[in-house]
């Protein structure tokens, strides 16, 4: 089967990159010939060429390009507005994962990521597409409903997405695993990983709550830490060790080798689980926890979500207990089986 995959594949974001990699790998294992639709938001490109962005993200951009060249499948010709005539003929179009249906992320490209311009008779499905919202407050519901009605099967990443589809658009959707968790085998990317007695941090929002928790973790667990982050002059003046813009493979290896992970990233969380690491999730924004809490709930790990430094202090002892990964992996295995069954049925039936 030939498929065209549309997702946020171009972003300088480790999660976006690795979920694209994982989606392609799963589809290929199912016997699909995958073409990645090279649809790019022109505003993101403009942002990258600003002087400040070149200084902070130039190295990351180069490392991401090398990864994509090695591990991405065939891409279409680059397009900044969706052009059906630039796409190869396929059996199915797939809306991929990550927040491709979050209007706060994709803006006026929302309907593009819902294949609104395709002819109604062209088969399309979604896999783990994310609204990234607790509630839907967008006005053009009729256009969105019309686009979603043309899908033969819809799956979303969060339980809130199931509710949005049902309550806002009258559409039945099922919840499935993020593709990084569905695939799960990253031996190709992280050969010869040696365990290291350290805390690995990947935090978008590095505030007082974060540094308080990190200081406590270092002192109580008697471990050093490393913070994976974009370049900032501040890193030359604080007491912490930083890993500046690691390559995607180095980012993965750091998590895989960690003794403990502290993160507010969905995919930081996902890979901590994949590599069976003890972890704490400390959200940077309390109103953006749905992606994190939904995954934690599936695997019975909701207690690993820490609201702030006060919550951390109240539950510190329990948070230091080792996670029962025998139980977690059993739940993950069942979720993988269910998610894969959905994808097979959606593609081939």
Q: What is the per-residue pLDDT across 210-225, written as a single tens digit (0 to 9) for each?
A: 999 999 999 999 999 9
Which H or E run includes 18?
Answer: helix 14-29
Chain CA centroid to CA 338, Å = 19
DSSP 8-state symbol, 129: B
Question: Are the CB atoms for 258 and 169 separated by under 8 Å?
Answer: no
- pLDDT at residue 330 is higher than 60: yes
Q: State how far the alpha carbon of 331 is from the alpha carbons of 62, 65, 338, 339, in Å.
A: 38, 35, 11, 12
pLDDT digits (tens, 9 = 90+) for 308-329: 999 999 999 999 999 999 999 9
Phi first, then psi: give them for residue 283, nearest 5 degrees: -60, 140
Question: Are the CB atoms for 178 and 127 separated by under 8 Å?
Answer: no
pLDDT digits (tens, 9 = 90+) for 111-148: 999 999 999 999 999 999 999 888 888 766 899 999 99
What is the band of 229 on the pLDDT scale with cuts at 50, 70, 90? confident
Query: In terms of Cα–Cα distance, which of 322, 202, 192 is closest to 253?
Result: 192
Cα separation, 85 vs 77, in Å, equals 11
Q: Which two tokens stand for residue 16?
A: 């976006």
Chain CA centroid to CA 3, Å = 21
Chain CA centroid to CA 77, Å = 25
Question: Are the CB atoms for 254 and 234 separated by under 8 Å?
Answer: no
Phi first, then psi: give them for residue 151, nearest 5 degrees: -80, 140
Per-residue pLDDT, 56: 65
What's the whole-model pTM score?
0.94
Residue with the bigger pLDDT between 289 and 101: it is 101
Least confident of 92-96, 97-101, 344-348: 97-101
Rg, the chain, Cα only: 20
Cα separation, 292 vs 281, in Å, equals 8
């Amino acid at each position: 089967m030939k498929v065209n995959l549309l997702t946020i594949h171009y972003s300088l974001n480790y999660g976006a990159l690795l979920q694209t990699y994982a989606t392609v790998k799963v589809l290929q294992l199912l016997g699909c010939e995958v073409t990645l639709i090279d649809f790019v938001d022109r505003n993101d490109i403009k942002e990258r060429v600003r002087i400040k962005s070149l200084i902070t993200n130039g190295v990351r951009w180069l490392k991401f390009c090398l990864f994509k060249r090695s591990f991405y499948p065939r891409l279409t010709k680059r397009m900044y507005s969706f052009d059906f005539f630039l796409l190869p003929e396929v059996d199915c179009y797939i809306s991929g994962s990550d927040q491709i249906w979050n209007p706060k992320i994709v803006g006026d490209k929302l309907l593009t990521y819902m294949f609104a311009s395709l002819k109604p008779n062209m088969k399309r499905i979604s896999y783990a597409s994310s609204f990234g919202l607790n509630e839907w407050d967008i006005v053009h519901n009729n256009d969105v409903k019309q686009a979603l009605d043309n899908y033969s099967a819809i799956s979303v990443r969060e339980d809130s997405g199931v509710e949005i589809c049902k309550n806002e658009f009258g559409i039945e959707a099922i919840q499935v695993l993020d593709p990084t968790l569905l695939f799960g085998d990253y031996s190709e990317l992280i050969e010869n990983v040696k365990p290291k007695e350290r805390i690995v941090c990947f935090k978008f929002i590095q505030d007082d709550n974060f540094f308080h928790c990190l200081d406590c973790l270092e002192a109580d667990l008697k471990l050093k830490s490393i913070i994976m982050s974009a370049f900032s002059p501040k890193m030359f003046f604080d007491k912490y060790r930083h890993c500046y813009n690691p390559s995607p493979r180095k980012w993965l290896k750091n998590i895989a080798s960690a003794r403990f992970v502290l993160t507010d990233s969905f995919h930081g969380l996902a890979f901590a689980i994949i590599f069976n690491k003890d972890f704490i999730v400390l959200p940077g924004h309390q109103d953006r926890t749905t992606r994190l809490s939904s995954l934690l709930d599936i695997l019975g790990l909701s207690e690993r979500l820490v609201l702030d430094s006060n919550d951390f202090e109240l539950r510190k002892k329990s948070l230091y207990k080792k996670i029962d990964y025998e139980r977690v992996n059993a739940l993950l295995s069942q979720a993988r089986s269910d998610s894969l069954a959905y994808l097979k049925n959606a593609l081939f039936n």
